Structure 1
Amino acid sequence: MIATQTITPRLERSYARLGVLLIAPTILVFSLVIVYPLLAAIYLSVFSIYTPTLEGNFVGAANYVKLLTGKAFWNSLGVTLIWTVGTLTLQIVFGVGMALLLHQNIWFRSLARSLVLFPYFLSTVVAVLVWRWLFNDLYGAMNHGLMQLGILDLPLDWLGSMPNAMIGVILVGAWKYFPFVVIAVLARLQTIPEHLYEAAKIDGAGPIARFWDVTLPQLRNVLVVIVLLRAIWDFKEFDLIYLLTGGGPVTSTQTLSLLVYQEAFGLNQMGQAAAYSVGMMLVMLVFMVVYIRKTGKEG
């Protein structure tokens, strides 16, 4: 009895030291990858720094005053919200629809489940090159097909004028990322008890009624998580939009990520770019808090 009481605290301390030792590499990597860049951005945001030399003067809150009073940040925030809401809506609609289709017992289901992942795993650069060719106003397949169908009389400049540029960017973003929704929703569909559908059929519910009364309530939790995750990822999207339009025409598709890049490497104002990035981080923090609270409640 006495031996057990003296050994147990030693074992607990030993396990505690082992736990700290095992988690130390993760904490180190987390600090280097996330904490240090965050603190560095906050530090740079109170200076007026010339990017090529990284030299400048302390300006205090001047960069944040420009952020709040200028139009650049708010215009880019509006563009970012339009892009995020537009592409996320299409991702959910097409993703859920495709997941419902692939959940059915169709003969090409295995092949279709493999092919539907193709856009998600395709390199962004390759995808953008293909879509830029499709959107080309002179020889693009998009204009050619619409003109053959009689929908258009003249070819459209898809990526060089508004609102066509924003529509084009949203379409490409939805096509690129909707497979993520398909994977998550399809996994949840396969766990819905079949007896729920059988009971709904006995009550006389048709396919649409079964979707609204059985399928959608069962998908609600996973859809909330999907929406929050995709909203965070789409909000900070950079490479796809930059390669498609570069933020143009003018600044009509310039999201906050592109604004930070343009300010830092186009105008060589690293301090102001850091202030914009901090403002962007604060907006994203809202999504992250909602996501953490939602997943915490489910846990």
Structure 2
Amino acid sequence: MTTLSQASSVSMRAEQTRLERRYAHLGLLLIAPTVLIFSAVIVYPLISAIYMSLFSIFTPTLEGKWVGVDNYVQLLSASEFWWSLLNNLIWTVGTLTLQIVFGIGMALVLHQNIWFRSLARSLILFPYFISTVVAVLVWKWLFNDLYGILNHLMMSAGLIDMPIDYLGDMPNAMISVILVGAWKYFPFVVIAVLARLQSIPDQLYEAAKIDGAGAVARFFDVTLPQLREVLVVIVMLRAIWDFKEFDLIFLLTGGGPIISTQTLPLMVYKEAFALNQLGMASAYAVVMMAIMLFFMIVYIRKTREKSA
């Protein structure tokens, strides 16, 4: 009997092992398309960029020679790189801060029971869905120092005596770019925060009112802690997207005046297609990726420490 029982047990374990292997093979087969697509659109371009950054490549012919880390040495020793990085940080921090402030404020308004709430919720998405090219054309018309409506209204109201060059002078150019970026992308914050606000239990606000908390106290003691998790995700996503923003800044100022609003994505474009140095452009792209990765790791660690 003992021998028969042991044989049965061995047979069951063997069958279980075969099933586990079959499920493992099925799992690999199911995720294989995802892995292939991920490798094609992310891994391969990343490896190619790192590889090309070690060469001096002439963009039109794609011919070049091995230079090793010379591109990185030249990049880090160039004042234009550090100036562009500073502009990148100013743009990212400035526009992200305004997006968070305006986004939370607008989400709180749209969360209230107002009669035009449905219409307002639809219209608030307009800046986010509109084409960047169209948005830039409208804002460049508003900012124009000769026939722009913004200067016209301000001069008519007696606020200014002379037209302001919003996009051709500093710090006006950087402020204008940040404002346009915040206007364009703050609806993303509104959508995410509004979705979280609707899931906060009303009992928390009722308990806070019973304790005598006013509107401001309820926001900081109830609403903001409940929004912490979604704000962590919003800040991380929007920081990544804003840091690599190209088209809006390029179309508004082209990095000007001179290089006053030039960011690292514009430097990549400049090196690759204006100076025809594809290897140097790849080095800029790799350094840019490393900077984003560093800040994201620090940010994730800090948020985990606070939540713990």
Same fold (TM over 0.5): yes
* Paired position in structure 2 for 1:112: 120
2:254 to 239, 246, 256: 246
Amino acid paired to 1:13? R
Contact 2:142 2:148 in 1 (8 A): yes
In the aligned structure 2, how far is the partner of 1:30 from the partner of 1:288? 21
Give the count of matched residue pairs. 298
* Paired position in structure 2 for 1:15: 23
Question: Which moves more between the two structures, 201-210 or 252-261?
Answer: 201-210
* Paired position in structure 1 for 2:207: 199
- C-alpha deviations, 1:235-264, integer Å up to 9, x for none? 000011111111111111111000010011
In the aligned structure 2, how far is the partner of 1:113 from the partner of 1:251? 38
- Report the CA distance shift for 1:281/1:85 in structure 2 as closer, same or farther (over 3 A): same
Q: TM-score by structure 2 length? A: 0.92
1:98 to 81, 106, 129: 106
2:263 to 229, 240, 255: 255
1:82 to 86, 90, 95: 90
Where structure 1 has 5 or more consecutive residues not aligned to the other structure, the ranges are none
In the aligned structure 2, how far is the partner of 1:151 from the partner of 1:255? 32
> Superposed, which structure 2 residues align to 1:1-299 within 5 Å?
4-290=12-298
SS of equivalent to 1:219: helix
- Report the CA distance shift for 1:29/1:97 in structure 2 as closer, same or farther (over 3 A): same
Contact 1:143 1:155 in 2 (8 A): yes
SS of equivalent to 1:56: strand
- C-alpha deviations, 1:101-147, integer Å up to 9, x for none? 00000000011111111111111111111111111111111111222
In the aligned structure 1, how far is the partner of 2:126 from the partner of 2:195? 18
CA apart distance, 1:224? 1.8
Where structure 2 has 5 or more consecutive residues not aligned to the other structure, the ranges are 1-7
* Paired position in structure 1 for 2:3: none
Following TM superposition, the consecutive aligned residue runs of length 4 or more in structure 1 with deviations greater than 3 angstroms are: 1-6, 290-298
- Paired-residue identity, %: 74
Contact 2:110 2:120 in 1 (8 A): yes
Amino acid paired to 1:82? I
In the aligned structure 2, how far is the partner of 1:85 from the partner of 1:295? 17
Q: TM-score by structure 1 length? A: 0.95
* Aligned CA-pair RMSD: 1.7
In the aligned structure 2, how far is the partner of 1:82 from the partner of 1:149? 31
CA apart distance, 1:187? 0.9
SS of equivalent to 2:118: helix
- Structure of larger gyration radius: 2
SS of equivalent to 1:96: helix
Amino acid paired to 1:213? D
Amino acid paired to 2:116? F
